[in-house]
A = this chain, B = another copy of it.
């Protein structure tokens, strides 16, 4: 393991923190999880980050990367395709970890200012990305969505709500049922398409 310059080590720790919180969640993740993932001593982490700052930064990066991949980065694809893919993949097993992070960031934001700020910014980013997508489909004539900024909030809310309901072990709401309800809600917000 070669010795690294400060900036490189910082990004390396950040990426390890992303892996750890995706695997264990924001609340269960510890500084030792991150340092042992990298194979370095426990004391090294505090040399570069406070735990709360690292945790919030890792959360931001994970969420922003997901939004970019599923919405922002697909600005050249047809709006209905992007939205349809969003609905189809919303409650897949791979998405669980991401929804869990959202719930945890919301809750822990009550006592962690950095996490609250990260969650607030991520929410803004998500709302903006989805609003743009809805507006694009409207102006392209793909669907009818006269108030994309409003519809975006409702879709995000039902998405988060259904995700939370699915996450409960032994939940009475299956993933398929959640996808069904999300599709109906999205269709309503976008006229009859998607």
Contacts and interface: CB of A to CB of B under 8 A. Distances in A.
Given A27-B27, A107-B107, A154-B181, A123 B160 contact: no
Contact of A160 (B105, B110, B164): B164
Contacts of A111: 28
Interface string A106-134: 11011101001101100110010000000
The 6 lowest CB-CB distance pairs between A and B, nearest first, are A157-B161, A161-B161, A160-B161, A116-B169, A157-B162, A158-B158
Contacts of A164: 102-103, 106, 157, 160-161, 164
A123 B167 contact: no
A100 B104 contact: no
